Structure 1
Amino acid sequence: MAITRALGRVFSVLVLISFVILTNSYTPKRQLNTYLNPGCTEDCGGGLAYVKARGEQDTLHFVFTSVGTPSALVIRTNTLQDRENDKLTFDWTKLRSNDTAGAVYTTNHLTKVLYSYGIIFTRLFQYNDTSDDADLTHFPTRGPELTVYDFHSDVTEWENLLDTSSDELIVLKVQQTDPDLPTAIVNGSLTIQFHLFDHGDRSDDLPHLEYNEDTTHFDFILHDIDTGNMSNARYGVETIFFSMDTDKDNMAIEDVKSIDDEYSPGVFSINNLVSRPSDKGNGGFLQWKPICYQKATRTRSSGTAVKKYGPQALTVAEKMSTDFINNSIVYAFYGADKIGDVKMTYSNFSFGLSKDGFFTKNNYTAWTGSLGYGVPPADKVSTLVIAVISAGLGLPVVLMVFGGVFVCVKKRFTKKSSTSSFSENRIN
């Protein structure tokens, strides 16, 4: 009974420690305030979401929009005591004009921009992979086997995010693309959604990317697309990752290997595109695992590969002349005088693996990534696994110790009882 009670106490302590560790991870680190189409009273295009994430040391201002080119802009500023004016302002007259420079700005002269970075989604590629190579580089130019969807307002119409978004989930959804294209996207068949967090944890859905209060997760989702005559259709997307850095330290993709696949079974690597390779703690990053999913209910069996191409740095001339950039919220914030100095790199990503059945197998693809500030999260053994291992190794030791003590005590008690009985017989 003594051993049982002792083991019960040990188990209770382990459970308590695990509970404390897990619950502490849900402590809010930032105060989130979400504003949908702030300051817009008429035509807002697809719309703009502004999320202010106020922390003790700094404030992150997230801007997600499909006005112009779909983009996510993150601005890190000092945290002011004046909470009312500790925010961004949006000039919708400029945002709706042909020259958006200066449309996003801070009004308080005490606000200091510490860093800024983000991502632009520029184009979608649909190609007919008749050779089943799952290689986007085999289709370098537009033609009958390759359709390109440009993500700007002249070609793509976006739904009003007021109808699709909430405080912690911003959804940019395509309403329709140019009907003159051989295969058009309609009725929300393409969605880019962003998840906001005020604490650190892991996503509930595969590939269970880790997040903290300085990150946002995005899902790039394709579903129910009429692929036209492309029976072996696959897709890819072009992105531009940018940061305010003007140094010559080029952005780089790190392929981090792992022997642990606890969170994404069968996936032993994670990719990080970092803006400051030599100073990651003070830069931005784009993180993803090389896997996407062919079903809305994500399972290991529905996973297929994500292949990266690049990154390739943009020249000053390309930054100044590219329509995707000039029509984006990025240009609206930096302006014509600074956009040439902003560090930018473009990367392509294709979805699919040879013999996976192509996109047409399930007519669905979902890719998840993370956009954040600081050192990119790295996979590590979870608290639960540590607790299980500790219990597995600790309980046998506890049993041996208490078992040994029990045997020793029992032998001593038995010996003492035998001695007493013998003495009593001699006296009698």
Structure 2
Amino acid sequence: QVFEYSEAKLEEELFYPTYDLADFSWDSINRTLNHTALTAEFTGIPATDPGGSFSNGSVAFRVTAYEAGGRDGPLPSLLHTANSSKVEFVLAGVAPRSNGSRFMLEVATVEEMGVTQKLQSTRSIDDEYTPTIFETLSLVAESQNGSSALGFLQWKATAYGSRTPRREDGIQCRSQGLQEANWTLLVSSIVRAYFGEGVGSTYTVSAINISFGGEDGKVYQEKRYLSWSALLGFGQPPKDTFSPLVISIMAVALGTPLAMLLVGSCVVLFSQRKHYSEYEPIN
């Protein structure tokens, strides 16, 4: 589901009728499936749109599969493995229902009974690949004894308001914690169509809400475009290490004072030695 809300009063949020993706009309994937680039795009609009919000807009999910490990080119430049795929949520041209509207995406996860899920937050001082973004979040599914990771959903704490994202196009992104899914999601036609009648007995369904936008929602108001990317894969989520550039900067920052201290010590010792060598005793 996609939620739209705005702040009516201080610390109060006004929610508009939800966009239920199960009720959307989706284009055929055959038109966007690219076997060479390993990409596909699902684009949809509501079956009924009485308010006209989708008259010039749509919701899309873009999927990219990878054959090998590496780093994605466009921001947020996610680090990926051969066992992962990128899922991009795109809201384009949808008219907001208020001047300060913000959007929120409900992400559902379906796991077998006994599998535990943990939401992990990792912070780093290295923002070379995703400028000004220092937090990476990972929703990790682990075996019952916690000995191994079975799968993950990983994303940076940002979305973007442009088809060609740059640092200044960043949109604030927040996650609201993992919760058990309500009955509406359990009987969702999308979930049941894929996992069958075992949902609720053989499988457990959880959900996490990802919200987008600053305090006033102006970024989307101006550009009418929102893109959020996440990595979906098997095993352990990839972990960023310090890039060579950051290592070089840290080496210079830490090494320069030490070098100056050593040079200063040598100069002082040399000066003292020279002073004593010029001294001549009276006797």
Q: TM-score, normalised by structure 1?
A: 0.53
Residues 161 and 314 from structure 1, CA distance in 2 versus in 1: closer, same or farther, beyond 3 angstroms? Answer: same
**Partner residue of 1:366?**
227
Q: Is 2:150 the partner of 1:283? A: yes
Instruction: Say which of 150, 158, 173 aligns to 1:306.
Output: 173
CA-CA distance at 1:284 after TM superposition: 1.0
**Partner residue of 1:125?**
3
**Partner residue of 1:351?**
212
Q: Contact 1:234–1:358 at 8 Å: present in 2 too?
A: no
CA-CA distance at 1:351 after TM superposition: 0.4
Q: Match of 2:92, as an amino acid?
A: H
CA-CA distance at 1:337 after TM superposition: 4.1
Q: Contact 2:120–2:139 at 8 Å: present in 1 too?
A: yes
Instruction: Say which of 113, 121, 126 aligns to 1:255.
Output: 121
Q: How far, CA to CA, are the matches of 1:125 and 1:336 in structure 2?
A: 27
Q: How far, CA to CA, are the matches of 2:147 and 2:155 in structure 1?
A: 16
Deviations 1:123-151 (A, max 9, x none): 11122345597xxx834xxxxx5131111
Aligned residues: 250
Instruction: Say which of 214, 217, 222 aligns to 2:86.
Output: 217
CA-CA distance at 1:187 after TM superposition: 5.5
CA-CA distance at 1:305 after TM superposition: 1.1
**Partner residue of 1:341?**
202
Which residues in structure 2 correspond to 1:150-169 (within 5 Å)? 150-152=20-22, 155-167=23-35, 168-169=38-39
Q: Contact 2:109–2:205 at 8 Å: present in 1 too?
A: yes
Q: Contact 1:126–1:234 at 8 Å: present in 2 too?
A: yes
Q: Is 2:48 the partner of 1:178? A: yes
Q: How far, CA to CA, are the matches of 2:55 and 2:105 in structure 1?
A: 17
Q: How far, CA to CA, are the matches of 1:291 and 1:204 in structure 2?
A: 16
Deviations 1:164-195 (A, max 9, x none): 22121110001444223x34425662111110
Sequence identity (%) = 23
**Partner residue of 1:385?**
245
Deviations 1:400-422 (A, max 9, x none): xxxxxxxxxxxxxxxxxxxxxxx
Q: Once structures 1 and 2 are overlaid, which stretch shifts more, 250-259 or 352-361?
A: 352-361
Q: How far, CA to CA, are the matches of 1:387 and 1:239 in structure 2?
A: 36
**Partner residue of 1:420?**
none
Decide which structure has greater strand share.
2
Instruction: Say which of 113, 120, 133 aligns to 1:267.
Output: 133
CA-CA distance at 1:255 after TM superposition: 0.8
Q: Contact 2:199–2:205 at 8 Å: present in 1 too?
A: no
Q: How far, CA to CA, are the matches of 1:185 and 1:242 in structure 2?
A: 29
Q: How far, CA to CA, are the matches of 1:280 and 1:368 in structure 2?
A: 28
Q: Contact 2:43–2:60 at 8 Å: present in 1 too?
A: yes
CA-CA distance at 1:156 after TM superposition: 1.1
Residues 337 and 237 from structure 1, CA distance in 2 versus in 1: closer, same or farther, beyond 3 angstroms? Answer: closer
SS in 2 for 1:283: strand
Q: How far, CA to CA, are the matches of 2:246 and 2:102 in structure 1?
A: 41
SS in 2 for 1:272: strand
Residues 164 and 259 from structure 1, CA distance in 2 versus in 1: closer, same or farther, beyond 3 angstroms? Answer: same
SS in 1 for 2:201: helix
**Partner residue of 2:99?**
231
Instruction: Say which of 175, 188, 200 aligns to 2:69.
Output: 200
Residues 178 and 275 from structure 1, CA distance in 2 versus in 1: closer, same or farther, beyond 3 angstroms? Answer: same
- Which has the bigger relative contact order, CA under 8 A and spacing at least 6? 2
Q: CA RMSD in A?
A: 2.9
Residues 210 and 362 from structure 1, CA distance in 2 versus in 1: closer, same or farther, beyond 3 angstroms? Answer: same
User: Rg larger in 1 or in 2?
Assistant: 1
Q: How far, CA to CA, are the matches of 1:357 and 1:217 in structure 2?
A: 27
Q: Contact 1:158–1:172 at 8 Å: present in 2 too?
A: yes
Structure 1 segments of 4+ aligned residues over 4 angstroms from their partners? 130-133, 386-389
Q: Contact 2:161–2:171 at 8 Å: present in 1 too?
A: yes
**Partner residue of 1:414?**
none
Residues 185 and 323 from structure 1, CA distance in 2 versus in 1: closer, same or farther, beyond 3 angstroms? Answer: farther
Deviations 1:302-329 (A, max 9, x none): 10211111200247xx38x8332xx12x
